[in-house]
Structure formats: structure tokens, C-alpha cells
Amino acid sequence: MPKHLDENICESASFERVYNTYADDLHDFLYYKYGAQFNPKDKVQDAFMKLWDNCKKVTFAKAKSFLFTIANNMMLNEFKHQKVVLKYQKIKPKHYTSETPEFILEQQEYLETYNKVLSNLKEEQRVAFLLSKVEGKKHSEIAELLGVTQKVVEYRIYSAFNMLKKELKGFKIK
């Protein structure tokens, strides 16, 4: 038995030899057996990654068997997953909510009013307010972005908040 069949494939030269020897055959096997829809190239790469993770346990002689078994099992798992996805897609979601039509209408009207009030704010106020409350940035970060002091940012947010409070009933924010 030649020496290289018993060798461990953790060395980069041995692993490269395994990759060059079996990668195309493994891809072709997966492609012909399962088609292109399950990404045989990705499964080949994943199989080689698993081989690398287990390189101390797999000899050069057993590498082909290991790779083909792992890749085939990955494709079968993907196929099973697709069956579950298709089964789930057949189930129709409920087309009702526990919210009353009045609540939904009020919510839409409130959102329209909120957007209208936001658009009426001065640009500086709106930008500072949205950066703070929507994007969650700190006052110091906003000041740095806008090139102003932190006090100016705080004032812009405060004035925007007051305008929103004045125009919208029950407006509260965390």
C-alpha cells in the first residue's frame, strides 16, 4: 500500500491533493443526482470544510468516501428541508386579526398625522429627532455627525418633541 494512502490530510499539500482529486467529481455527482436547485457547489465546499474539521480522523484513502457521504447527506437534508418549506407554504395563514376595524383606522390616521407633523418640523429638528429616536444614536454621535455641539442636538430634539406633543394627542416616546 503506498504511503500517501495512510497519511493524515491535515497538511495543506495533502488536503490540496484531495481537493484537486475529488472536487470536480463530487460536484458532478451532486449535480447529476440532485440538479442545480440545491446548490451543489456550496455543498461541495461545505463537505470539504467538514473534511478539514475532521482531517485528523480521515486518511487519504478514506477521504473520497467521507466526502461523498457527507455531501450526499447534506443534499438529502436540504431536500427534506424543502419538503417542510413546501408543506408550510400550503398552510394558509389566517386572514383575520383580533384588532377592530376602528383601531386599525385610528392607527392609520395617527400614522398619517405623525408623518405630517414630522414633515412640518424644521429640517434640523427632524434630522436630530429621527437620528435619536428612530436610529437610536446617542446625542454625542448625532453632534459629531451634524458638526454641532451636543447642547444644540439636545435642543433640536427637545423642540421637535414639544412640537409633536403639541400636535399629536397622547404622544409619548421612550
Interatomic CA distance for residues 23 and 32, integer angstroms = 14
The 10 Å CB-count burial string (b at 16+, else e) for 6-41 is eeebeeeebbebbbeebbeebbebbbeebeeebbbe
Among the listed residues 22, 31, 2, the one whose alpha carbon sits nearest the alpha carbon of residue 64: 22
pLDDT in tens, the chain (174 residues): 344 555 778 888 888 899 999 999 999 988 888 888 888 999 999 999 999 998 888 888 889 999 999 999 999 998 898 888 888 888 877 676 777 888 888 888 888 888 888 888 888 898 898 889 888 889 998 998 889 999 999 999 999 888 888 888 776 665
Q: What is the pLDDT of residue 98?
A: 76
Q: What is the pLDDT of residue 1?
A: 37
Q: What is the pLDDT of residue 69?
A: 93
Q: What is the pLDDT of residue 5?
A: 56
Predicted TM-score (pTM) of the model is 0.49
Interatomic CA distance for residues 13 and 133, integer angstroms = 55
